[in-house]
């Protein structure tokens, strides 16, 4: 059934640049202007979030674009309050577009008397009136089951595959994909299959959280251009140590493709001083000035894939079609022509 209303976008303050880029992309796809809904998302003096929408949204198909990145609690509250504002303004349907889903690393109880915060956040999102979630590279795919509403989880690997084929087109035979730990093998294997490259694993053993005691390479990386694939880069300690281990094992050079660049603490300084030839991040989290200025960090845009996913949801067509190379390549043809 064709949609009777127009898709309308509204954004919090987490990643306004990405929201504006998605709106521009949707304008190109539709051949008519798509703009962010005029709204105020501000703080009172005591840091309470206040939202006011200046346009009529009654019966409209609303998409809230808001990553729950640092400061995670503030951005999460913005998302919830924007949703409540739209629900009380009689919006027809509310979809949360969350490029980076915060709290995803707390998806299970790792020891006694600890929370499952990802489930709590899922409950809060549902109770706020959100009827659908669109996100990318959830840290644990089972988080989709924490929601009692539909969840579309996009993957960065098709976008990364396009980027790798473009930047390594003259030496694809020398490329090897690396999983930085055993838990990330499925993610690394997905990219390796897409670019038809071999796979190796860096086995890491932690003595306690935040510290890596020992790393060993499983596989022969001699003379290879190694590409480390992961979903989150936080302090970059593990990533930079993995690059050192790979170079010590005979790799020709080391690159990394990470979906969500949290980049907290000394991350930028570590990457800049490391043996990584390049670190490729998506813009699921707004880049800080330090990240943008780093000489060996590059940003890949997500606006094309999110814009098309929003249009597919609005039009009632397949979102999973965006997992395929043939569907995605035309969206990025201006970038990888």
Catalytic residues: 204
Asked if the bond preceding 48 is cis, omega within 30° of 0, the reply is no
User: Is 141 known as a binding-site position?
Assistant: no
User: Is 325 known as a binding-site position?
Assistant: no
User: Is 238 known as a binding-site position?
Assistant: yes
3 state DSSP class of 183: helix
User: Is 214 known as a binding-site position?
Assistant: no
Closest CA to 118 of 146, 95, 137, 153: 146
User: Is 106 known as a binding-site position?
Assistant: yes
Q: Are 55 and 72 in contact (CB under 8 A)?
A: no
Please state, in angstroms and rounded to a whole number, the distance separating the CA atoms of residues 291 and 271. Answer: 10
User: Is 236 known as a binding-site position?
Assistant: yes
Please state, in angstroms and rounded to a whole number, the distance separating the CA atoms of residues 234 and 227. Answer: 18
User: Is 234 known as a binding-site position?
Assistant: yes
Q: Are 246 and 252 in contact (CB under 8 A)?
A: no
Please state, in angstroms and rounded to a whole number, the distance separating the CA atoms of residues 82 and 286. Answer: 19
User: Is 230 known as a binding-site position?
Assistant: yes
Please state, in angstroms and rounded to a whole number, the distance separating the CA atoms of residues 227 and 199. Answer: 10
User: Is 48 known as a binding-site position?
Assistant: yes
Binding residues: 46-48, 105-106, 139, 181, 206, 230, 234-238
Binding residues for D-ribose 5-phosphate: 206, 230, 234-238
Binding residues for Mg(2+): 139, 181
Binding residues for ATP: 46-48, 105-106
């Amino acid at each position: 059934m064709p949609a009777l209303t127009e898709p309308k976008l509204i954004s919090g303050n987490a990643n306004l640049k990405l929201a504006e880029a998605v709106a521009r992309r949707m304008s190109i796809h539709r051949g008519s202007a798509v703009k962010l809904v005029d709204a105020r998302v501000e703080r009172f003096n005591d840091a309470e979030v206040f939202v006011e929408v200046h346009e009529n949204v009654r019966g409209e198909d609303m998409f809230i674009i808001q990553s729950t990145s640092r400061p995670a609690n503030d951005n999460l509250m913005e998302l919830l309050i924007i949703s409540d504002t739209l629900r009380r303004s009689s919006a027809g349907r509310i979809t949360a577009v969350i490029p980076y889903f915060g709290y995803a690393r707390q998806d299970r109880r790792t020891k006694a008397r600890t929370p499952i915060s990802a489930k709590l956040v899922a409950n809060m999102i549902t109770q706020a009136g959100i009827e659908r979630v669109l996100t990318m590279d959830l840290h644990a795919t089972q988080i989709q089951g924490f929601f009692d509403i539909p969840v579309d989880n996009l993957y960065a690997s098709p976008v990364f595959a396009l980027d790798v084929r473009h930047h390594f087109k003259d030496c694809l035979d020398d490329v090897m994909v690396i999983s930085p730990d055993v838990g990330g093998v499925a993610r690394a294997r997905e990219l390796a299959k897409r670019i038809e490259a071999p796979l190796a694993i860096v086995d890491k053993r932690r003595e306690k959280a935040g510290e890596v005691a020992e790393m060993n390479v499983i596989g022969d990386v001699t003379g290879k251009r190694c590409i480390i694939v992961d979903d989150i880069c936080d302090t970059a300690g593990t990533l930079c140590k993995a690059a050192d281990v790979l170079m010590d094992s005979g790799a020709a050079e080391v690159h990394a493709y990470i979906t969500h660049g949290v980049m907290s603490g000394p991350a930028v300084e570590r990457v800049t001083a490391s043996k990584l030839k390049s670190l490729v991040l998506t813009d699921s989290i707004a880049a800080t000035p330090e990240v943008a200025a780093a000489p060996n960090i590059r940003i890949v845009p997500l606006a094309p894939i999110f814009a098309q996913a929003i249009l597919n949801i609005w039009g009632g067509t397949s979102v999973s079609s965006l997992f395929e190379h043939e569907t995605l390549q035309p969206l990025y043809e201006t970038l990888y022509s």
